[in-house]
Structure 1
Amino acid sequence: MPLQTTPTRNAESPTAETYSELQAAYDFFNLELFAGELPPCLITLQREKRSYGYFSAERFQRADGTRTDEIAMNPTYFATLPLVEILQTLCHEMVHLWQHHRGNPGRARYHNLEWADKMKSIGLMPSDTGQPGGRVVGDCMADYPMAGGPFLGACEKLMTRDFQISWHDRFPSARVVLLSQQSYGLSMDLPVALLSVAGDKAAAALGVGHEEGQQGPIEALRPNKSLRDKYQCACKTNVWGKPGLKIRCEACRQLFAVVSA
């Protein structure tokens, strides 16, 4: 039976649509980057305030005693991160799952050299800053795509299967928007679909073509460009984000309003 990499659209069931998309991505990357070695796991959505996602070994148990691991994804960032970084988070946690079953994890939250080497092997460079030049091991680790690496190659292949993240949080905080603007992926020469928030539909809404010969400039989707609105709150904090965001300042508790650039 062929792998289902394009989840069935079901407008009546946001739950089924959301989780089928994440499961399709997990199954796809498992084959493309991990040679199908990874066992099934339970993917959840968790609003951990300072985490894009996390892995928890054998966190869930079925009534018959069967246990499974958890990969949690933080939906708060789905509205603000480029798609490539949402997929990075998933693959980052899949490396933790791989190490739990096939390697030797570091103590507690420590990302050790074995984890770092596996990350590099799938095309993700570990970095404690999320930028080139950061440390590759440590407690709090981010990563960025390696140009020409397996991860980006797999992402481009996935996008040919009409993949997207359909649902996102309408009310991300200003802190989340600011963090998302620091994504290294936004500075890379990547396909527009990977830099947009919800794949082809978001790019189409921004007026960016995807057909050969019609692809708009990558720069149009980066922060501080004409397709991003400038928002300001009562305490004069400025953020930039996609049009239509509803953002509340954690300092003055006021909603941000669109202002002229």
Structure 2
Amino acid sequence: MNNPSDEMYDEISGAYAFFNDQLFGGQLPGCLFTLQRKSHTFGYYSPSRFLRRNGNGKSDELALNPAYFAHRRIEQTLSTLVHEQVHQWQAYFGKPSRSGYHNAEWANKMEAVGLMPSNTGEPGGARHGQQMTHYIIEGGPFDVACKELLASGGMLSWIDIVAMRVPMSPALLYGPGGEPSEPEPVDPTIDIEALTTAGLLQPATPKDDPKNKRKYLCPNCKLQVWGKPGLSGLIGCMACELAMIDAKEFVEVEAQPEAEAE
């Protein structure tokens, strides 16, 4: 079996080289790839981020966030790679605006390679601005090239199974409007059944919802505690030595006067 690091980075660098040839005419100079778990970011490009220790050379950084690999389809993650390649293209052959701003030149190049810039990730969103994402143009250059790349073999073979247990909303994954998909989408190429059977993946455990907690009462002293549903009769008041009852089931009974002796 290949070393996992070699396999992962070979796949990413191979995709970069493939899209460089197919979408950028081989113009891009290469870069150093990193995996970064940066909140609310699918990836980023940082020019001249690395220098050789001896001063002989420098490299741009192109980062992808592995926390999203399981929740987005492979082609979506690869579209993030190309999104960052467009930033690199502009750094060398265009005129970038201030840091973080996606200008009209960047937007035009994005559309030319088959990715429609949109601040919402949906049709009709703004094409340029500070916070930008995109969607794949069906039948466009990226769409065609990506299908060819995926048909050639494995890609993004390693996923973060811890991240798979974290529920993620469509809005977080795709932008404010979300995307028509399941509430917590997972890339359909991932063999969930096999991972679960092998004991490598456990279902996500939702955080306790205060709405699911119940109040329990001691029928004598009215001591109150909170707990999960179903504890009625199973927990008790040590002072009164009585079982505690779900407050919703507790009925206050007024004392009835004793019957007079006849």
Report if the CA contact (8 A) 1:164-1:198 is conserved: no
Q: CA 1:12 to 1:101, structure 2 compared with 1: closer, same or farther past 3 Å?
A: same
Q: CA 1:60 to 1:198, structure 2 compared with 1: closer, same or farther past 3 Å?
A: farther
Report if the CA contact (8 A) 2:121-2:174 is conserved: no
Say whether residues 1:235 and 2:209 are aligned partners: yes
CA-CA distance at 1:198 after TM superposition: 7.4
Report if the CA contact (8 A) 1:165-1:198 is conserved: no
Partner of 1:94: 85
Report if the CA contact (8 A) 1:77-1:176 is conserved: no
Aligned partner of 1:22: which letter? Answer: I
Q: CA separation in 2, counterparts of 1:232 and 1:95?
A: 38
Q: CA 1:25 to 1:80, structure 2 compared with 1: closer, same or farther past 3 Å?
A: same
TM-score, normalised to structure 2, is 0.68
Report if the CA contact (8 A) 2:23-2:141 is conserved: yes
Aligned partner of 1:20: which letter? Answer: D
Aligned partner of 2:16: which letter? Answer: Y
Say whether residues 1:69 and 2:69 are aligned partners: no
Q: CA 1:177 to 1:184, structure 2 compared with 1: closer, same or farther past 3 Å?
A: closer
Aligned partner of 1:13: which letter? Answer: N
Task: Report 1:18-33 matches (<5 A).
Answer: 18-33=8-23
CA-CA distance at 1:99 after TM superposition: 0.3
Percent of aligned pairs with the same amino acid: 41
CA-CA distance at 1:185 after TM superposition: 10
Report if the CA contact (8 A) 2:32-2:59 is conserved: yes
Report if the CA contact (8 A) 2:122-2:177 is conserved: yes
TM-score, normalised to structure 1, is 0.68
- Aligned pair count? 198
Aligned partner of 1:103: which letter? Answer: G
Q: 1:149-186, CA deviations, whole angstroms, 9 ceiling, x for partnerless residues?
A: 00100011101211321111111264645423769996
Query: Once superposed, what is the RMSD of the aligned Cα atoms?
Result: 2.9
Task: Report 1:102-117 matches (<5 A).
Answer: 102-117=93-108
Partner of 2:112: 121
Q: CA separation in 1, counterparts of 2:86 and 2:153?
A: 25
Q: CA 1:198 to 1:32, structure 2 compared with 1: closer, same or farther past 3 Å?
A: farther
Gapped regions of structure 1 (runs ≥ 5): 1-10, 189-194, 207-228, 238-261
Q: CA separation in 1, counterparts of 2:72 and 2:51?
A: 32
Of 40, 44, 47 in structure 2, the residue corresponding to residue 50 of structure 1 is 40
Gapped regions of structure 2 (runs ≥ 5): 196-202, 212-262
Identify which of structures 1 and 2 has the higher relative contact order when contacts are C-alpha pairs closer than 8 Å and 6+ apart.
1
SS in 2 for 1:68: strand
Say whether residues 1:140 and 2:114 are aligned partners: no
Q: 1:49-101, CA deviations, whole angstroms, 9 ceiling, x for partnerless residues?
A: 12100000000011243011010000110111111110111000000000000
